[in-house]
């Protein structure tokens, strides 16, 4: 078996992590050993006058054909928000795709805004009788872990009629179990104040649909500060 040319990977790795004279000497010797064994692939390595680490790497290369074993990629968190217009600062649905019943579903700046995170605009959903969805396709990497977070408020309803409520956040079409709010409230509906929700998911494609589904017959949901960031589980 010919010597694995990936010894160069090892040499580069050494040179990038240790700049001492000894390491530079060993790198040079390793390069010379590598060059020799390319020309003489059947020769066996001996430890005499050869750095032990080079002997090990080269013998592994001769036996397996690889001296740079495959390793699990290091997860690198990234706080860049992949959601566009996640705080609705444009004052409209730019970057989002609304669908379904549009009744009483707008972007506005009315109280109880701003949110605890300082968003001046929010998605206000008070659609009656059926669900409405808000979708954005997020660029993702297969196998990468991400954190979805958002602020949500239910304004509540002090009147005498029951209030049917539904909310969910979905990635890749499937609702996140912990995000689902679904009930019919006997009057009055107390609602709830600004609440930060956060969920971790693993991407299964290079484009992940992020979908919010709402219904709120007699009150309003306020949704803003939506973010998706790469993280480590």
> DSSP readout, the chain?
-PPPTTHHHHHHHHHHH---HHHHHHHHHHHHHHHHHHH-TTPPP-STTS-HHHHHHHHHHHHHS-SS---PPPP--B----STTTT-TTSS-TT-EEEE--TTEEEE--TTPSPTT--S-EEEE---SS-EEEEEEEE--TT-EEEEEEEEEE--B-SSS-EEEEEEEEETTEEPGGG-EEEEEPSSB--EEEEEEEEEEE-SSSEEEEEEEEEESSS-EEEEEEEEEEE--
- pLDDT less than 70: residues of the chain: 1-77, 233
Does the domain made of 97-231 have the CATH classification 2.60.120.260?
Answer: yes
State residue 173's pLDDT score: 83
State the pLDDT at residue 157.
Answer: 85
Average pLDDT value over all residues in the chain? 79
> pLDDT tens digit string along 2-26?
334 444 454 545 444 444 545 544 5
Domain ranges, ordered by start, for the chain = 7-64, 97-231
Q: What is the pLDDT of residue 54?
A: 56
């Amino acid at each position: 078996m010919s010597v694995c040319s990936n010894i160069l990977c090892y040499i580069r790795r050494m040179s990038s992590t240790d700049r001492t004279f000894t390491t530079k000497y060993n790198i040079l010797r390793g390069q010379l050993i590598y060059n020799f064994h390319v020309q003489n692939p059947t020769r066996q390595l001996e430890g005499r006058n050869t750095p032990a680490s080079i002997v090990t790497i080269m013998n592994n290369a001769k036996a397996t054909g690889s001296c740079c074993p495959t390793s699990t990629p290091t997860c690198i968190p990234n706080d860049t928000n992949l959601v566009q217009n996640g705080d609705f600062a444009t004052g409209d649905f730019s970057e989002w795709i609304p669908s379904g019943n549009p009744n009483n579903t707008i972007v506005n700046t009315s109280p109880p805004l701003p949110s605890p995170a300082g968003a001046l605009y929010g998605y206000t959903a008070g659609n009656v009788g059926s669900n409405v969805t808000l979708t954005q396709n997020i660029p993702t990497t297969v196998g990468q872990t991400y954190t979805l977070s958002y602020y949500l408020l239910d304004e509540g309803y002090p009147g005498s009629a029951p209030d049917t409520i539904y909310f969910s956040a979905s990635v890749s079409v499937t609702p996140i179990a912990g995000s689902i709010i679904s009930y019919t409230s006997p009057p009055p509906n107390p609602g709830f104040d600004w609440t930060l929700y956060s969920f971790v998911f693993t991407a299964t494609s290079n484009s992940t649909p992020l979908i919010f589904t709402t219904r709120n017959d007699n009150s309003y949901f306020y949704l803003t500060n939506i973010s998706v960031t790469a993280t480590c589980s």
